Amino acid sequence: MAVRTPHFPDLLFGSAARLRAWEGALMGLLAAQGYRELHPSLVLREAVPEGGLRFFDGDELVALRWDFTVSLAGLLARSFPEPPPRVSYAGAVFRRPVQPWEAVERFEVGCERIQSDDEDGAGADLELARLLMAIPGALGLKSAILHLGNAALVRKPLEAEGLFGELASAVVAALSRRAPHRVAEVMDGHPAAARMTAHAQALLSDLDGTKTLDALSSSPYAHLLQGEREHLQRTLQDLLPILPPNLELRMDLADVAGLDFYTGPTLRLWAPGAQQELAAGGRYDSLFPGLGRPWKAAGFCVRLSRLLDLAATRPDLFEQP
């Protein structure tokens, strides 16, 4: 896709200071929890997908780092026989924007929790959720909303019904629009149409706490998804007692963003009035096996560029320094 409005942000004094302060605060928070920084090269020499910012260095085609998780996965798989359990990162990624207002250069801070495949992932998922709960306070956000989801709630029923390719993509697109009537439209005539539509209605029935999980019992795939429901229930039970006063916890069962990447629990951080999520992550257990390593992984990324934009347009959402 052509870049219509290249946006390489120059940060003036206030924004530069804020970026530096946020990076420091977040990396300090992660270090205190045992996360050690890795810094993959800004220049990549391997094949990069569409969306990377590529150029010639002499005769050699190279690209700028476009995604920390992918860059780190390559580095870890190449350099470590055993997975370092906790890794953090900070810096810029460069990506061709999908929306015309998006920047090409984006600042991020994030962390990854990597395990061998015989370790239990549930504890790591909870650890990451707790960490993400601390992020709004470290950034000075007055209030925030943490959405908990699980990619398996959609993946598993699609696989159970043998739905792949274009039809599966159309169902996912309808769920992304939060439109169960669209699921019915795209599944019209398929033997699983009634089941998938009922499932979509269950996923989209509510956004509020335990009632949302109750709604899952009305899904035709309730039995198939029992493990995911219990995982979400446990997560709620663990997180609600330690919820900071200005953070709201919500279930978002129809979170299908990045469904081709995420394999389990997902996390998204919003601020009231923000037009884009400020941090996102989840479990992606198929990444390292694809690189020849039998490791599981989960993590999240804080999108500092979006936070800088938000601080410029909605300073009322932040504590004054």
Which residues contribute to the site for other proteins (CB under 8 A)? 99, 145, 147, 177-179, 181-182, 207, 250, 252, 268, 270-277, 316
Q: How far is the CB of 211 from other proteins (least distance, A)?
A: 13
Side-chain-side CA neighbours of 46 within 13 Å: the count stands at: 12
Residue 142 gets which letter from DSSP?
A: S
- 207: Cβ contacts below 8 Å, ≥ 6 apart: 250, 251, 252
Q: How far is the CB of 23 from other proteins (least distance, A)?
A: 24
Residue 113 gets which letter from DSSP?
A: E
Nearer to other proteins, 244 or 273 (CB): 273
Q: Does residue 282 sit in helix, strand or coil? A: strand
Nearer to other proteins, 73 or 251 (CB): 251
Cβ atoms of residues 125 and 234 within 8 Å: no
Nearer to other proteins, 127 or 206 (CB): 206
Rounded Cα distance between 29 and 25, Å, is 6
Nearer to other proteins, 161 or 252 (CB): 252
Nearer to other proteins, 229 or 268 (CB): 268
Q: How far is the CB of 142 from other proteins (least distance, A)?
A: 11
Q: How far is the CB of 11 from other proteins (least distance, A)?
A: 23
Q: Which amino acid is at 70?
A: V
Q: How far is the CB of 186 from other proteins (least distance, A)?
A: 12
Q: Does residue 231 sit in helix, strand or coil? A: helix
Residue 60 gets which letter from DSSP?
A: E
Residue with tokens 């920084």: 37
